[in-house]
Amino acid sequence: MNVRGLNKSLKRRAVFRWLHHQSSSFIFLQETYSAKECENAWRAEWGGEIVFNHGTNHSKGTMILFHPKLNFKIEKQINDRNGGYIILDGMFLDTRLVLVNIYSPNDVHQQVFFFKELQHQLKDYAEETIIIGGDFNCTLTDIDKKGGNPFSRKINKLCDMYEPTDIWRQRNPNEEKFTWRNKS
């Protein structure tokens, strides 16, 4: 979920309250605008573990929140230096899971480098169960866009390697709904 900033306590508490009602084991948030000095307060408000990758207080940032009763043992964490992704390698019960939260740049040229770096970081996990989520800032199919630049597969190699499934598209194969619109 792209939250477009959680610095305001009323918004953050409302988002956290709504997320608790979703009964998810873990949650990927993007564009969090977090900073090191907010970590303890945000964890206390959430009531469980949060893994941060900070952007700035006005842009970027990713977080993975864990349900307070979930016992996920993190064995390795990889963050990019711009707050664009978190990769967590860990154990849940007897299952190894790799959680990947992505906030891709908007710029098409930056996306090429971003996904190339992400692919490089994930190469060691090819045989593991990987859960990738986030804000890709591009579509996986042309049915998910209307107008604008022609459809472009900026994330071809990543898609070829991991064969991601767009859960919403799978459940709504013919529905036209968009999460972002440009007035023009």
Q: Which CATH number fits the domain that encloses residue 98?
A: 3.60.10.10
The answer to whether position 150 is within a domain reads yes
Q: What's the confidence (pLDDT) of residue 38?
A: 95
The pLDDT of residue 88 is above 70: yes
**CA–CA gap between residue 169 and residue 150 (Å, rounded):** 20
**φ/ψ (deg, to 5) at 87:** -120, 120
Q: Which are the contacts of 98, defined by CB distance < 8 A and separation ≥ 6?
A: 87, 88, 89, 90, 122, 125, 128, 129, 130, 131
pLDDT for res 160: 75
**Number of folded domains that form the chain:** 1
**Of 59-63, 69-73, 119-123, 155-159, which gets the smallest average pLDDT?**
155-159
CA-based nearest residue to 184, from 150, 138, 147: 147
Specify the residue for token string 């619109």. Answer: 181
Quote the percentage of the chain above a pLDDT of 70: 91
User: Is 181 contained in some domain?
Assistant: no
> Does 139 map to a domain?
yes
Is 154 among the domain residues? yes
Query: For residue 77, what are the domain limits?
Result: 9-171
- Decide if 129 contacts 98 (C-beta within 8 A): yes
Report yes or no on 19 lying in a domain. Answer: yes
55 in any annotated domain: yes
Range with the poorest average pLDDT among 31-40, 62-71, 89-98, 167-176 = 167-176
Asked if residue 15 belongs to a domain, the reply is yes
More confident residue, 178 or 92: 92
State pLDDT tens for residues 116-149.
899 999 999 988 999 999 998 877 777 777 766 5
